[in-house]
Structure 1
Amino acid sequence: MEKFDLNLLTVALAIAEEKSVSRAAQRLELSQPAVSLALGKLRRRLGDELFVRTPGGMAPTPKAVGVIELARQVTQRVKEEVLQQKAFNPETSTTEFTIALSDIGEMVFLPKLLQRVQELAPHASIASVTLPASEVGAALESGRLDLAVGYFPDLKKNNFFQQRLFSHNFICLLRADHPLRGDRLTLAQFLQLGHAVVRAEGRSQEVFDRLLERKNIRRRVVLSTPHFMSIPFIVASSDLLVTVPMAVGTSFASFANIRLVQPPLKIPGFDLKQHWHRRYHDDARHQWLRRLVADLFKDDARWPEPPASRRQSQKPG
């Protein structure tokens, strides 16, 4: 098999269907001598005349009949399974999409994404997973993950694609009846208050932490927690201050006794993106999922506006 040229089968099939070497050459976009040479190779390889001239054109020998049928099956399977891109049908698919979401991902992305997937792919499902940052790349490469959506600054190698969805920023939270009033903290107030700090698997909090380090600002940390979901209950029942991504803050303020206040310094924003491995770049199922995420979120995340004192200088994420 290593020495057998499978292209010879397509030549035999073309001659059989056209009943002419010259017409087979035209169909294959080859010269007539090239087709004659290929037929000669196949004859010698199989030890059979394969085609003989008759008044009706080139007629196959019994040996050739079997070769032609096999060639037809092989070429048809190659067309269907190799050359044609398999379509993804969301209406009938029972696939499970596995997505790594960063610390704010489930609040920002998952509700809208789940709703749209249920509308367009009613039999499909979503698995949202949290992985250490060091494992996300390998999981995308192996296929255990379809997408990583959120803030994943380490996924920059050549084998990874990324698409920016939108930019995001930070906001501070206090309980609604906190004795400090106003829509914006002073630096003195920021330093005086006790802070709750989230140390989650996600990386977005690093943006804020690095800013404080560069400016040599030390918070008075009263509580450190790996979980965002405990924050609204802690803040609503204490005098603690917490600084979180805008989407997290607006979500918490919608159901807890919490109000939004602007931090005392300008905090750099960060881009939320979707990331995938190049192995799956052309896969129809992956392409459908990525288009869905982009259509839902690209430059279209709208959170409640920040307090009035900063509306002119800061756009919502």
Structure 2
Amino acid sequence: MTRFDLNLLPVALAIYEEKSVSGAGKRLGMSQPATSAALNRLRQAFGDQLFVRTANGMEPTPRAMTLINPAREILARVEDDVLQGEAFDPATTKAVFSFALSDIGEMVFLPKLLERIQREAPHATVASVTLPVQEIAAAIEAGRVDLAIGYFPDFQKNNFFQQRLFSHAFTCLLRRNHKIRGNQLTMQQFLNLGHAVIRAEGRSQEVFERYLEKKKIERRVVLSTPHFMSIPFIIGTSDLVATVPYAVGISFAEFAGIKLVKPPLEIPRFDLKQHWHRKYHEDAKNRWLRSIVADLFHNDARWPGKAA
């Protein structure tokens, strides 16, 4: 019995319920000879006839009757717990959905994500984490973070999947009553203005900085800060200019007397994506979460990358 073939249990159960070897084979998609051979192996394993032919079909012996209920329970357990995997119901889950987001990512993604998750998974918790870039991959692999959303150009390893959400661009910020009028800066204006420069942990700002280095364009930097959140108050009360991702500019323009103007440069666009580890590619929770992100932001028309 230590080498008992568990594949024989469905055969025993089918013969019991069909009262026929041929009927059991048909139900299991097996030929009659194969079903008969399986029955013989069952008989050898248990040292009992198990099923005998009668006028009413194949009837179970007492030994067979002790086998049927445990066989049902075993097969049901395999079906429910092994083959189907862990069930995931957004309406009842108390899971923590964890996202790796920069401060820009929180402004762009978090409000709509939170609203949608609260509506469909009301008992869940949403967590936004900010980690050094070199630690995010390990956190996703370990399951401490479900998804990284934003600009993460380092996630090129085979262990990660990614989905492009939308392409993004940059805009310039000025105070609303700035002496410079119009909706686009000239190159001379861009060079003459004092600049507030953000050197945050998020990677998207690197696209702009690398572009300036490549073009050998030197700004007059008046302020350097690692934080985006101070920018609207600084720009709204000074003559400085700041260049930021368009979605950030849209958020800032809603308060603090900020206006958006087009930069005088053809700054490369960049793709925002969601990233996950291959370990969780088929995980029900992760798949549901990815579908929510894709539904909300894939080809998002709110961020055309053009200043208003």
Q: Which residue is 1:7 aligned to?
A: 7
Q: 2:32 maps to what in 1? A: 32
Q: Distance in 2 between matches of 1:136 and 1:219?
A: 32
- What are the Cα deviations for residues 111-136 of structure 1, in whole angstroms up to 9, with x where unaligned? 11211222222222211111222222
d(CA) in 2 for partners of 1:83 and 1:181? 65
* TM, length-normalised to structure 1: 0.89
1:2 CA drift (Å) = 6.6
Counterpart position of 1:166: 166
What letter is aligned with 1:80? D
Q: Tell me, which stretches of 5 or more residues in structure 1 are unaligned? A: 309-317
Q: Which residue of 1 aligns with 2:105?
A: 105
Structure 1 residue aligned with 2:17: 17
- CA–CA distance in structure 2, aligned partners of residues 110 and 301 of structure 1: 17
Conserved? CA contact 1:163–1:274, under 8 Å: yes
- Cα deviation, residue 5, structure 1: 1.4
Worse-matched range after superposition: 172-181 or 249-258: 172-181
What is the match of residue 260 of structure 2? 260
**Greater shift in the superposed pair: 190-199 or 242-251:** 190-199
Q: Which runs of 4+ in 1 moved over 4 A?
A: 303-308
CA 1:303–1:14: 2 relative to 1, 3 Å: closer
Structure 1 distance, partners of 2:177, 2:277, is 48
Any idea what SS the aligned residue of 2:233 has?
Answer: helix
Partners of 1:124 and 1:136 lie apart in 2 by 22
User: Using the alignment, how far apart are the partners of 1:306 and 1:157 within structure 2?
Assistant: 32
1:239 paired residue number: 239
Instruction: For 2:7, give the aligned amino acid.
Output: N
Question: Is the CA contact (8 Å cut-off) linking 2:96 and 2:124 kept in structure 1?
Answer: yes
Partner amino acid for 1:165?
A: L
- Give the secondary-structure state (helix, strand or coil) at the position aligned to 1:109: helix
Give the aligned partner of residue 275 of structure 1.
Answer: 275
Deviation per CA, 1:261-291, whole angstroms, max 9, x where unpaired?
Answer: 2222111111111122222222332222222
CA-to-aligned-CA distance 1:185-214 (integer Å, 9 cap, x gap): 233332333322212221101111111121
Tell me which moved more, 87-96 or 145-154. 87-96
Alignment of 1:48-63 (within 5 A): 48-63=48-63
- Deviation of 1:303 (Å): 5.0
Change (3 A) 1:137 1:219: same
Structure 1 residue 252 displacement after superposition:
1.1
Q: Distance in 1 between matches of 2:303 and 2:10?
A: 60
Equivalent residues in 2 for 1:281-296 (5 A)?
A: 281-296=281-296
- Could you say which residue in structure 2 is the equivalent of 1:191? 191
Q: Does the 8 A contact of 2:260 with 2:307 survive in 1?
A: yes
Identity %: 67
- Give the number of equivalent residue pairs: 308
Instruction: Give the match for residue 119 of structure 1.
Output: 119
Aligned position for 1:215:
215
TM-score by length of structure 2 reads 0.91
Which residue in the other structure is 1:314 paired with?
none
* Closer/same/farther in 2, CA of residues 275 and 2 from structure 1, 3 Å limit: farther
Q: Which moved more, 1:150-159 or 1:104-113?
A: 150-159
Task: Name the CA distance, whole Å, in 2 between partners of 1:62 and 1:114.
Answer: 59
Question: 1: CA distance between counterparts of 2:88 and 2:189?
Answer: 55
| Cα contact 1:102–1:151 (8 A) shared by 2 | no
Deviations 1:152-173 (A, max 9, x none): 1122222322222211110111
Tell me how far 1:46 sits from its aligned partner.
Answer: 2.6
User: How far apart, CA to CA, are the structure 2 residues paired with 1:218 and 1:90?
Assistant: 51
Change (3 A) 1:307 1:40: closer
Letter in 2 for 1:61: T
For residues 275 and 240 of structure 1, the distance between their equivalents in structure 2, rounded to whole angstroms, comes to 36
Does the CA contact (< 8 Å) of 1:184 and 1:261 recur in 2? yes
Aligned-partner Cα distance in 1 for 2:307–2:53: 89
Task: Determine helix, strand or coil for the equivalent of 2:223.
Answer: strand
Distance 1:276 1:204 in 2: 19
- Supply the distance in 2 between the matched residues of 1:233 and 1:2 (Cα, whole angstroms): 74
Partner of 1:315: none
Calculate the aligned-residue CA RMSD, in Å. Answer: 2.2
Matched with 1:224 is 224
CA shift digits 1:76-99 (9 cap, x unpaired): 112222333655332222222111
